[in-house]
């Protein structure tokens, strides 16, 4: 079963096959300004940012949850967005929320508490709700958002379990609202360049994917270490990036999983969740993904794809900044490393802009709820494999 077949099989929001690989069509091109190149033909063209939709026409987002991710990444990202604007905040801390609203020019009347969440229904400026809450609250707030008929961008991991994910998909389908999971790496230029390189066949058939996404977690009281709120430890939080990249970059789906878990006994951080997880995904083509993730490792992030005719490495692969793509293959008779100078862009802006385009043009997002569901099904198989110390065949996927 390949990605498209899977996406079709789980039903819910239907995704036209071609949409999966389709680049966004930019709205508002009529407003663009053209400039001539001042450099010679042997220089890379200077690509202008924008064009930008004026504020009143931008897709308005309500940000739900004002933790680190919202404050450090998502809200600042609107400054680089073409099509989006933050227009409402939902937080349990009114004082903090009002401060932030003031910084971002959000009307204080558009600051809500969790108990008044449903009042977002009455705010015509809110077209999309971005759920940035602990994982254990995703289902509840996605379903509440669907009920008030708003489109939903939900942070990864989509939920705690595949059962939650299925209910979220069903709820959005029933409400006829769009649901997108915030797999920002799928909108990041280096990742997209690598995906295109794979798809072009230049690397030959893919044989290996090797990746790590690990970090040293601190404060034992944080919600990420609370099983009820997080749904797991390092695996759904950071290991998910490796898992998703293996699928996204290859365009293939795994049919067998093996895994090793580690949860030390005396560490207060790991009373409820795993500290480390190494897992191997086997694909029917012979492609194998070897992934490592940990909450007890100094920040370490990379991925390497191995093909018959080339390898490619992305580093740090999953971070917010500084991504570098290298690949190596024969050039003439000499093995040569290539480093394309791909310009960094704000990943959150790209992902929010994609969803805005989907809303403006009534298209399905490239990373719908089904994409998150698939990862939950695989993560459940990883946990089972780790517990049973046996390989687990993915149900519904032919070997």
List binders of its own copies among 94-153 (CB under 8 A).
96, 99-100, 102-105
List binders of its own copies among 176-215 (CB under 8 A).
203-204, 207-208, 210, 212, 214-215
Contact by Cβ (8 Å): 328, 311: yes
Provide the minimum distance between the beta carbon of 349 and its own copies in the complex, in angstroms, as a whole number: 9
Provide the minimum distance between the beta carbon of 121 and its own copies in the complex, in angstroms, as a whole number: 26
- Site membership for its own copies, residue 366 (CB under 8 A): no
Q: Which is nearer to its own copies, 118 or 196 (CB)?
A: 196
For residue 58, say if its preceding peptide bond is cis, omega within 30 degrees of 0.
Answer: no
Residue from 18, 29, 39, 109 binding its own copies (CB under 8 A): 39
**DSSP assignment letter at 22:** P
Which two structure tokens, joined as six digits, stand for 132?
A: 């940035």
- The angle, 0 to 180 degrees and rounded to 10, between the axes of the packed helices 369-388 and 162-175 is 170
Q: Which is nearer to its own copies, 18 or 42 (CB)?
A: 42
Residues identified as active-site? 156, 241
d(CA 220, CA 225): 7
- Residue-wise burial string across 54-93, b where 16 or more C-beta atoms lie within 10 A, e elsewhere: eeeebbbbbbbbbeeebbebbbebbebbbbbbbbbbbbee
Q: Which is nearer to its own copies, 170 or 267 (CB)?
A: 267
- Site membership for its own copies, residue 395 (CB under 8 A): no
Instruction: Spell out the residues 6+ positions from residue 52 whose beta carbon is closer than 8 angstroms to its own.
Output: 28, 81, 82, 83
Residue from 190, 304, 363, 366 binding its own copies (CB under 8 A): 304
Residue whose entry in the numeric block shows the structure tokens 């909108």: 187
At residue 226, the 3 state secondary structure works out as: coil
Contact by Cβ (8 Å): 83, 53: yes
Q: Which is nearer to its own copies, 162 or 323 (CB)?
A: 323
Residue from 342, 360, 380, 384 binding its own copies (CB under 8 A): 342
Question: Total number of residues binding its own copies (CB under 8 A)?
Answer: 103
List binders of its own copies among 46-85 (CB under 8 A).
46, 48-55, 66-68, 71-72, 76, 78-81
Contact by Cβ (8 Å): 241, 318: yes
Residue from 18, 23, 29, 42 binding its own copies (CB under 8 A): 42
List binders of its own copies among 219-238 (CB under 8 A).
219, 222, 224
- Site membership for its own copies, residue 398 (CB under 8 A): no
- Site membership for its own copies, residue 387 (CB under 8 A): no
């Amino acid at each position: 079963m390949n990605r498209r077949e899977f996406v079709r099989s789980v039903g819910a929001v239907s995704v036209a096959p071609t949409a999966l690989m389709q680049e966004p069509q930019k709205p508002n091109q009529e407003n663009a300004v053209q400039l001539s190149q001042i450099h010679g033909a042997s220089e890379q063209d200077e690509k202008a940012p924008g064009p930008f939709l004026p504020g009143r026409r931008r897709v308005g987002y309500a940000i739900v949850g004002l933790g680190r991710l919202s404050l450090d990444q998502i809200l600042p990202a609107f400054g680089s967005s073409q099509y989006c604007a933050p227009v409402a905040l939902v937080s349990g801390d009114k004082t903090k929320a009002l401060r932030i609203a003031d910084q971002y020019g959000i009307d204080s009347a558009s600051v809500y508490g969790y108990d008044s969440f449903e009042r977002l229904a009455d705010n015509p400026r809110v077209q999309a709700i971005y759920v940035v809450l602990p994982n254990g609250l995703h289902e509840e707030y996605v379903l509440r958002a669907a009920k008030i008929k708003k489109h939903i961008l939900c942070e990864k991991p989509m939920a705690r379990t595949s059962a939650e994910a299925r209910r979220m998909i069903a709820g959005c389908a029933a409400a006829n609202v769009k649901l997108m999971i915030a797999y920002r790496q799928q909108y990041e230029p280096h990742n997209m360049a690598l995906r295109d390189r794979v798809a072009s066949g230049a690397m030959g058939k893919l044989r290996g994917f090797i990746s790590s996404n690990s970090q040293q977690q601190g404060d034992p009281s944080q919600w990420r270490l609370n099983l009820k709120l997080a749904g797991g430890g390092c695996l759904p939080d950071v290991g998910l990036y490796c898992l998703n990249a293996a699928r996204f970059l290859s365009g293939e789906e795994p049919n067998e999983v093996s895994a090793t878990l580690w949860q030390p006994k005396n560490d207060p951080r790991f009373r409820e969740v795993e500290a480390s997880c190494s897992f191997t995904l086997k694909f029917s083509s012979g492609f194998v993904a070897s992934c490592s993730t940990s909450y007890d490792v100094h920040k370490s992030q990379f991925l390497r794809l191995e093909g018959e005719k080339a390898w490619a490495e992305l580093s740090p692969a999953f971070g917010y900044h500084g991504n570098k793509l290298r690949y190596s293959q024969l050039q003439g008779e000499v093995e040569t490393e290539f480093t394309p100078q791909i310009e960094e862009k704000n990943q959150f802006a790209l992902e929010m802009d994609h969803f805005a385009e989907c809303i403006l043009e009534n298209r399905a997002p490239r990373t719908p709820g089904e994409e998150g569901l698939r990862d939950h099904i695989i993560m459940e198989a990883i946990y089972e494999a780790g517990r049973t110390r046996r390989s687990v065949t993915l149900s519904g996927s032919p070997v």
